[in-house]
A and B are shown apart, each in its own frame.
Chain A
Amino acid sequence: MTDTRPANPLEMIAYVLAQQIEDGEVVYIGTGLPMVAGTLAKKTHAPNITLVFESGAQNPLMGDMPWSVGGPNTWKKSPMILEMSYSFGQLYNGYVDKAFLGYAQIDSYGNVNTHMIGGDFHNYKNRLTGSGGNNDLSSLSRNLILVGLQSPQKFVKKLDFMTSVGWLEGGNSRHEAGLVGSGPKAVITSAGVYDFEPGTKKMRIQTLHPGVSPELAQLATGFELVRPAGEIPVTPVPPRDIIEILRKDVDPRGVFTSMPS
């Protein structure tokens, strides 16, 4: 039987993320949706990309979804496997073209928290994983794309902890803090695609997914989104054949692209 279900929100994110990748690029990948997107891009429009992982794993043959950044699918038959400090060095030295990063909280300048939710450093509601490679990617990447679900709990006015600096306080503040890279380029969520307004560096609606109005996107956001003048384009949805590749070849067990029940 033909699977005619439209893309679910996670599949939509994976597709839009994959579209950011151009053939021939080196892409820095974490597990989860970035891995799905990287694999999808490689199996469709960008067969000649190289995936890099923080453990030092590089350039695997494509296999199943990895269960860890150190797991075999991140270094399956790799011609060379490096170590952690080198993998971040590749970013600083200009050998990575795109990097994808997740968040627990994100603010209007693309700054990210993966440390803790609620309260303060010593008396929080929940402590999360900490930085891992999050800060390194945010500090060093040339083309950083942030990816995750969108809700007022995640899109917040003020982060509970600033793990990673995006555009800091807007304007020239990222550069003045001494950071290299070029700051976050885009945020891809379950509701739409956002970029950052030149100058102010505040998050701006670029496209919205089908059925999402600017009002709805704003409702899912704890800060004021910048709305460009004129009509906001609808994010293109994945064509039938791409959804099929995604479901059959990329994440057949739905490890990262099936909606939690």
Chain B
Amino acid sequence: MGKFNYNKEVLANLRIDEKDTPLLDRLIDYDSALLAHEKKSHAAVDKRLSIKEAIAEYVKDGDILTDTGFSYVRTPIAAYLEIMRQGIKGLQMIGSPATNQSYMINYGTVSHSHWSYCGAEMRGTDRNMSRNVKEGRTKLLSEWSHGTMALGFKAAQIGVPGMYSKQLLGSDMVKYNPFIKVVDNPMKAEKDPCVFIPALYPDVTIIHVHQADKFGNAKIYGPLINDAAIAGAARKVIITAEEIVPPSALRNDNKGVVIPFVYVDAVVEMPYGALFGAMPGLYYWPRRMWEKTLRYWAYKEGALDEFYNLLLNDCKDQFDIIDKLLGGSKWMVNAKRLTKAEEGDNEDDGVDFHYKEWTMNDPDFNDVTDQYKQI
């Protein structure tokens, strides 16, 4: 008998063989998460590593990795690309949203998926992801809503075995999520169905932050999404930071410090580490880059090879992405100006957001620079 009571019908619906359920166990296995948390050094020591060292040390084949940030906002995409460069295989991916798993699946980096949302909001459905699931390049292990997955991470962070929730009831997701159970609220006199959501413990998470000190105390500006909760839950935590500041800086201005050092295994100085996504307060998202990603690289069968070649071989790091793809220093200056304008942090009356959308018949097919030519 296994360690957990998975619903057999749900396993059958997902076509997960009962002998394969150990694959599911680690996500909800408090005992091993506790052990991992106990085992790591709890001392405030210098944890700085390079991104290459941090990934090599802390991301292992088959780990459960979380997608953090929000699709293309403050997501450690540059670190994901390094995971791919290092040839790490067979990861399980979880996150709300988990948009970035799509291009990692075709590369063999991700082979199992926990799903709550994958796509690019109004830029639409991710056709590549649709093909990946249907053709079995990734195996779906569970269906979630954003809210219920958030509760699973939150339960882990605040230190409880799980949460009772009023979400998911009556929906088909209950039939496709082996981790949740419909149970009665024990305090109500009348029958009162709830779903029980166990605390979720991913193996490893990478969280991109604005500032961190060398111990791992970390500061975030903008929506937290689930990242403070995930930092408390994950067995291994890598912080990539736009800037490493002295510990006294965080003591003197502690507003926005949301991750305590004790959770953290590695701290990586990684300016522009959210590329090719956006970073609140610092840089706007490269719009043509995303449009080409969704409309061509991730859409057209076979085009992803070109994407890998560009981002994993031609570009060795995020600085190469800036220099070789986005337009270099002009992009940097404009990206800062655009995000500050949209956030109301500069005089935005004269800031021009115009750019030419990338389309399949684009005369400048290879140009993903947002075509900003006014500086």
Interface residues of A (CB under 8 A from B): 31-32, 53-57, 61, 63-64, 67-77, 81-85, 88, 92, 115, 121-124, 126-136, 139-140, 161-165, 168, 173-174, 177-180, 255-256
Contact indicator per residue, chain B 264-292, by CB within 8 Å of chain A (1) or not (0): 00000000000000101000010100000
Do B285 and A67 touch across chains, with their CB atoms under 8 A apart?
yes
A-B contact pairs, 11 of them (CB 8 A): A31-B121, A67-B122, A68-B121, A72-B339, A83-B224, A84-B150, A121-B13, A129-B125, A130-B117, A134-B145, A136-B167
Contacts of A133 in B (CB 8 A): 145-147
Smallest CB separation, A138 vs chain B (Å): 8
Name the distance in Å between A137's Cβ and chain B's nearest Cβ: 8
Q: Is the CB of A69 within 8 A of B130?
A: no
In the complex with contacts A67-B122, A129-B119, A178-B169 CB distance below 8 A: yes
Which residues on the A side are within 8 Å of B229 (C-beta)? 83, 85
Set of chain A residues within 8 Å of B182, measured between Cβ atoms: 178
Closest-CB distance, B93 to chain A (whole angstroms): 13
- Asked whether A70 and B117 contact (CB < 8 A) given A124-B134, A180-B166, the answer is no
Q: Among the listed stretches B64-72, B242-250, B305-313, B319-327, which one makes contact with chain A, having 4 or more residues with CB under 8 Å of it?
A: B64-72
Inside 8 A of B134's CB, which chain A residues have their CB? 122-124, 127
Sorted nearest first, the 10 A-B pairs with minimum C-beta distance are A178-B193, A70-B70, A136-B147, A177-B170, A129-B119, A132-B117, A88-B147, A135-B145, A70-B73, A127-B130
Least CB separation from A63: chain B residue: B342
Which residues in B have their C-beta under 8 angstroms from that of A178? 166, 169-170, 182, 192-194
In the complex, residue of chain B having the shortest beta-carbon distance to the beta carbon of A77: B344
Q: Write out the residue numbers on chain B whose beta carbons fall within 8 Å of the beta carbon of A123.
A: 134
In the complex, residue of chain B having the shortest beta-carbon distance to the beta carbon of A92: B166
B147 interface neighbour in A63, A76, A84, A115, Cβ under 8 Å: A84
Contact: A174 with B170, CB < 8 Å? yes
Contact of A165 (CB < 8 Å), options: B127, B146, B171, B223 = B171
Q: Which of B96, B168, B223, B224 contacts A139 (CB 8 A)?
A: B168
Of chain B, the residue at the smallest CB distance from A104 is B125
User: What is the CB-to-nearest-CB distance from A175 to chain B, in angstroms, rounded to a whole number?
Assistant: 10
A55 to B129, CA, bound (A): 22
Question: What is the CB-to-nearest-CB distance from B200 to chain A, in angstroms, rounded to a whole number?
Answer: 12
Closest to B158 in A: A85
Judging by beta carbons under 8 Å apart, are A135 and B344 in contact? no
Q: How many residues of B contact A (CB 8 A)?
A: 64
Please report the C-alpha to C-alpha distance between residue A70 and residue B182 in the assembled complex, in whole angstroms.
31
CB nearest to B153 among chain A residues: A85
Bound: A71/B126 CA distance, A: 19
Q: Which residue of A lies closest to B15 (CB)?
A: A122
Q: Mark B224-237, 1 if CB is under 8 A from A, else 0.
A: 11111100000000
Q: A72-B280, A83-B224, A127-B133 are in contact. Are A135 and B171 (CB under 8 A)?
A: yes
Is B118 part of the contact surface with A, judged by Cβ < 8 Å? Answer: yes
Q: Which residues of A contact B202 (CB under 8 A)?
A: none
Contacts of A129 in B (CB 8 A): 117-119, 125-126
Does B144 sit within 8 A of A, measured CB to CB? yes
Q: Which chain A residues border B192 with CB–CB below 8 Å?
A: 178
B281–chain A nearest beta-carbon distance, Å = 9
Find out whether the CB atom of B169 lies under 8 angstroms from the CB atom of A115: no
Inter-subunit contact B171/A70 (CB<8 Å) = no
Interface contacts beyond A67-B121, A88-B167, A135-B171: sample of 16 additional A-B pairs, CB < 8 Å, sorted by A: A55-B223, A70-B74, A75-B280, A76-B343, A76-B344, A83-B224, A84-B96, A88-B146, A123-B134, A128-B130, A131-B116, A131-B173, A132-B145, A135-B147, A140-B166, A256-B122
Q: Which residues of the other chain, A, contact B72 by a CB distance below 8 angstroms?
A: 68
- CB <8 Å contact, B223 and A81: yes
Tell me if B302 counts as interface (CB < 8 A to partner A).
Answer: no
Nearest neighbor of A120 in chain B, beta-carbon distance: B13
Shortest Cβ distance from residue A37 to the other chain B in the assembled complex, whole angstroms? 15
Give the one of B13, B121, B146 with max A CB within 10 A. Answer: B146
